[in-house]
Every structure is written in structure tokens, then in C-alpha cells.
Structure 1
Amino acid sequence: MKRSVSTLGIVMGLGLLPAACGPASQLEGEIDGPGLRAMTGTQGSTGPNGIPKLAWHTWKVTIARALHSRLLLEKGAIDPALLATGILAEDGGEQVFAHTVSCAVAEDTPVPYNRKKLAYVGRGMVSGVDWAKSGLTDLQITNVLECVVAFVNDKTKGVNILLTGPEVDDKEKEDHTSFIHREALWCASISGGTVVVDVYPTQSFLDGCGIDAKAALEERYCHEVGTCDLNYMDLDKFKDNCVGDEATGQYSCGGKACTMTWLEDAPAWCEPPLTSPPPPPPNPPNPPLPQ
């Protein structure tokens, strides 16, 4: 898949990312092993860090409703009903919209808008989806939401992220061997009138940085902790709910295709813990006083 300079990618702070799942025969390597597996020719899409947390939680229901109820374009222009929500009237909403176009609109498809006299450009990051031309199934909508969720982070600069999953497209066919750190698996749904996300941290995420994974993932995704509809799923739930292929990073949980994020080997991510310095030598005895 070609990268577009006008397309936004995934913004994740180092070490504050997504999870995974796999069948019992494959989970041993994930749970008990180091959790470092290079990607070799697997399906996936890459991008850099970014959607502000407040913007996502302000506009996520608007986006979910629009994906469910209407086509993006009407007579070659953005649907007036979507514009009427005000999502493109402020920068945060525009960030959410741009990422949604990257995920849900076919590669190189322009989505014109006059406020900045620029067109948003699709990347087709979710397989078989083109919101500009056809309606989406419920499963496709949740996969688009996962793709957008992977960008949510207040950090505006960060590292490259790889997305993998049964519904993540890869027209680039690039070598992904530099992405060796699994972060977490994200599974989105629409429930109770809002977007709900189950997040499964991987063992490498839990072990690699010596941090509180639940707190780190909540900090990355939630504008206000406890109000963001994020369900933290531990390793037991991961083993019970999820099946997949460790080699390709493609997993489903509860029978639904989900989306995993990976990081490259960055110095600030999983540095080994500092060792305590050796104790200082004992003070030498005081010299005798002169006679």
C-alpha cells in the first residue's frame, strides 16, 4: 500500500500500546517466551503516532453512527449531514475524521473538503471496505473503529506502529521484520449507544517494561480514566477468549476479528532495568595521630 503524505498514521507513546490472543498450542510461546517475534511478509499496515484523546471520545459516537447509517460522499462531496455535526469545524474532530478516512476509504481515493482546500486521502487500511462507495457491515464498522483507536494518543510524535489482523489490509507487501514488540490486541464493539473497546495486553508488554500495563493502556486511551468504555482483559481472559496465529499476528476474540499493534525496537521502549551500583568500599581507617 502506498503511503500518502496527507494521510495520518498511528500515534502511540512508547510502551503504551495494544494486545493479542492465540490457541493453547501457540500461546505457550507468547505467554512464557520473550514475546519478540519478527514479522516476515505478514499482512499489515504501518503508520506513525496520533489522535488527541479528548477529540476521539468527543467524536467517536458521531463516527460510529455515520459509518452505520450513511455513505461518506453524496454527489462527490462529504455528506452534508456529517458536516452538520461540526466534526470538521475544529482540529481535533478533523484528526478523527482524517484517520477514519485512512482506515475506511479505498487507497488513493480523494475526499474533497474546502476548509483547507485539501482532499483527505484513503489508504484502505481495512480490507474490503470503501465507505465512499458502499455501506459497511457491523463487523467492518468495528474493524474500522479498531483501526482508528490504534491512533489515539495525546503524544504528537512517536514511533512507527504496525497493525495486524484478519481484516487489516497490506497493499505495500513490505518487510515488517523491524516490528518485534507486540503491544496489545484491540477489539471494538458498539454497545449501549457508545464505542466499547476490550484491550488484551501481551506478555511481552507486561514483562518488557516493568510497568502497570492496565494503567499505561488507560493513560494512553482514556481522557478521563473510568469514563472511556475501555475494558482491560487479563491474560486468563486472553487465553479463554482468543485464538489466532502468532506468526502473522492475526487473532480473533469471541469469534470476532480484532486488531493488534506492534512496535519497532526503540531504545526508550524496553530498556533493561538499571542494576544497582556496587556498594562503595568501606572507608579506610583513620591514620594514627602523630606522636
Structure 2
Amino acid sequence: MLSFRLLEGVVLGTVLTLIGCGTAVDPGDFVESQALEPQGGSTKGTGGMNGLSPADYHANVTALVSALGVAAADPQNPSAVNPAIEATGLLATEGGREVFSYAARCTLPAGTQLTNGSGVYTGGGILTTTGSWPSAGLTTSQKEDALTCMVTHLNPFGAHVPFFLSGPSIAGTESSDAQGFTIEEAIWQVKLEGPNQTPIYYAWPRVDLLNTCGLVTSLTWVTRICGSALNTCGVQVRYDRATACTGSDGIFTCNGKPAVQTSLEESDLCILHLNVLGIGLL
């Protein structure tokens, strides 16, 4: 593991480079979250593996939102993808098909399989609120749940790391403690705004990455969601969890709507965020 001093130097150099390049990221925005006490209760949720490319996600999110608005299955053939989803263009590229596979994993009931050409898309049953998608388009709140689940899976450098999801809309079939996911990483939420349903991304850090890994928290979260340190995707890294969110033991509602918490194994926390910044350890 890299030393704290070395990590500080790497991060400082990264920040100075960004400033020198005229980035829109303001170093004054790099406010660190406070160290948090353990929640004190076993968190119920669902395990997973992140690894969805932010570039693929953001290139296809408009088509994805449209696809979520129609039934996932072909009304004439319940085992096939709805032609209306093909019409959105989401399945026209490899990146779009990867995005749809993560949408299926989050949103379709566990075991559901839909085919399109040689592609097979399997439901993971992560969400409890979107089980109607095979036969009906999702409501705005259901779409927000689906997108929130998906953004927790984003990782710009392919550092596939196991993690644990919990929240009001997450299937509570497993225990985080039993699987060793003891570090609460962040609380996430996506909100769709306006007639075009433009996604707005919120992240509430649950761990102080500066003290733990020597990393600037805001920078790593912007990079993880947007794919680069430039905040081009509208993510808001927030430190008002005490007033914006209610709940405990990994089950939180923020801004009056369900949110999703990610938890990691202690050994993976710094590895994940170092790889997010391109400091490869995997």
C-alpha cells in the first residue's frame, strides 16, 4: 500500500495540474467529510460488483431513460427485448448494450432473461420497486431508483471491486456484516428534472478519504461518476447528510426520496478510489 505522504503528494500534484489546465473544478470545493462512527446495526441489502464505464453510461443515458419508459419485454414475445427499446438506439453500440445489461441487473426481477440477437440480459433483482418493468414502462420515481442503482456501479478505470448496496428500494436479502462489507462509502441518489428528465446526481460521502487514503474526496467522487476530474455530468458532492437524509443502518431517504448506500470491504476502499484517480493498484 502506498504511504500517506506519497498519496498526499500524488493528489496535490493532480489538483495543481487540474488548476493549471483551467479546469472548472474549484479546489475551494474540496471540503472533506467528517469521520463517522459505526452505524451500530447490521445492514441488510444486496452484494454486487462495480465496473460500468462512466463514458458508456453518459453517452447512452438519454436513450436509457427513454428505454426505461417502455416495457422491457416484447409484448408479443415476453422472452425478447421490446422493439421499442431497440428504437431508442440503446442497443446499437457495444457500450449501450453494456449499459442495458446493468439496467437489467438492477431493475428486472431476479432470473428474468430477455434476448436481443445474440445478447442475453439477465435480471439481478437488486431493486424491489421496478419488478413491473417487463410489462410496463417505469414511472419517474422508479426510473430514479434504476439510475441510482446504476451509478453506484460506475468505475472509470475498470477496477472491478465487490461492494454492498442498501436502501429503501434495495432487496434486503443479505447482511453486509456477514460478508465483510464494514466500511460505509457513500450515499447516492439520482433525480430526474424537467420535461426532458435530465439526471442530477448526488453523492454524500460516508468516509473521510483524506485521512483514510490521502485522497481529496470531492475529486474522486466527481471522477468516479463523470469519468474525469472535470464535473461534466452534474454530480453534486454534498456534506449535508444530517439535514438532507434520514435513516440508519444503511437505509436512508434523502431529499424525501429513497437513496442507496454503498459499503466496501476495508481492504478495498483505498484500492477503489486510487484506481478511480488512475493510480493503478489492481
TM-score (norm 1): 0.73
Give, in angstroms, the shift of residue 173 of structure 1: 6.0
Tell me what 2:266 maps to. 265
Tell me what 1:47 maps to. 48
Amino-acid identity (%): 27
Give, in angstroms, the shift of residue 50 of structure 1: 1.1
Q: Label 1:260 to 1:172 Cα distance change in 2 as closer, same or farther (>3 A).
A: closer
1:123-165 deviation line (CA, Å, top 9, x unaligned): 1111132211233332221111110111111222332110110
Equivalence map 1:181-260=2 (5 Å): 181-192=183-194, 193=196, 194-205=198-209, 207-224=211-228, 225-234=230-239, 237-245=240-248, 248-260=249-261
Specify every segment of 5 or more residues in structure 1 that has no aligned partner in the other structure, as ranges. 1-29, 271-291
Contact 2:49-2:163 within 8 A present in 1 as well: yes
**Which of 146, 152, 155 is residue 153 of structure 1 equivalent to?**
155
What secondary structure is seen at the aligned counterpart in 1 of 2:156? coil
Q: Which letter maps to 1:239? A: A
**Which of 102, 105, 118 is residue 102 of structure 1 equivalent to?**
105
1:85-124 deviation line (CA, Å, top 9, x unaligned): 332222211111000001110110111121x2x4211011
Contact 2:222-2:235 within 8 A present in 1 as well: yes
Q: Label 1:148 to 1:50 Cα distance change in 2 as closer, same or farther (>3 A).
A: same
- Structure (1 or 2) with the larger CA radius of gyration: 1
Give, in angstroms, the shift of residue 177 of structure 1: 4.5
Give, in angstroms, the shift of residue 82 of structure 1: 1.6
Q: Which letter maps to 1:72? A: A
Give, in angstroms, the shift of residue 184 of structure 1: 0.9
RMSD: 2.3
Runs (4+) off by over 6 Å: none
Distance in 1 (alpha carbons) for counterparts of 2:269 and 2:192: 35
Contact 1:37-1:180 within 8 A present in 2 as well: no
Tell me what 2:142 maps to. 140
Give, in angstroms, the shift of residue 49 of structure 1: 2.3
Contact 2:66-2:88 within 8 A present in 1 as well: no
**Which of 166, 179, 186 is residue 164 of structure 1 equivalent to?**
166
Stretch of structure 1 that moved more, 186-195 or 77-86: 77-86
Equivalence map 1:116-127=2 (5 Å): 116=118, 118-127=119-128
1:188-214 deviation line (CA, Å, top 9, x unaligned): 111143111111111444542231100
Tell me what 1:287 maps to. none
Q: Which letter maps to 1:230? A: V
Contact 2:44-2:174 within 8 A present in 1 as well: no
Q: Label 1:182 to 1:205 Cα distance change in 2 as closer, same or farther (>3 A).
A: farther
Q: Label 1:254 to 1:88 Cα distance change in 2 as closer, same or farther (>3 A).
A: same
Whichever structure has more helix as a proportion of its residues is 2
Tell me what 1:60 maps to. 61
Tell me what 1:82 maps to. 85
Q: Label 1:178 to 1:85 Cα distance change in 2 as closer, same or farther (>3 A).
A: same
Distance in 1 (alpha carbons) for counterparts of 2:109 and 2:183: 28
Distance in 1 (alpha carbons) for counterparts of 2:269 and 2:254: 30
Tell me what 2:72 maps to. 72
Q: Label 1:38 to 1:110 Cα distance change in 2 as closer, same or farther (>3 A).
A: farther
Distance in 2 (alpha carbons) for counterparts of 1:268 and 1:180: 10
Q: Which letter maps to 2:156? A: D
Give, in angstroms, the shift of residue 51 of structure 1: 1.2
What secondary structure is seen at the aligned counterpart in 2 of 1:251? strand
TM-score (norm 2): 0.75
Q: Which has the higher contact order (CA 8 A, sep 6+)?
A: 1
Tell me what 1:273 maps to. none
Q: Which letter maps to 2:165? A: L
Contact 1:61-1:195 within 8 A present in 2 as well: no
Contact 1:107-1:124 within 8 A present in 2 as well: yes
Give, in angstroms, the shift of residue 263 of structure 1: 0.6
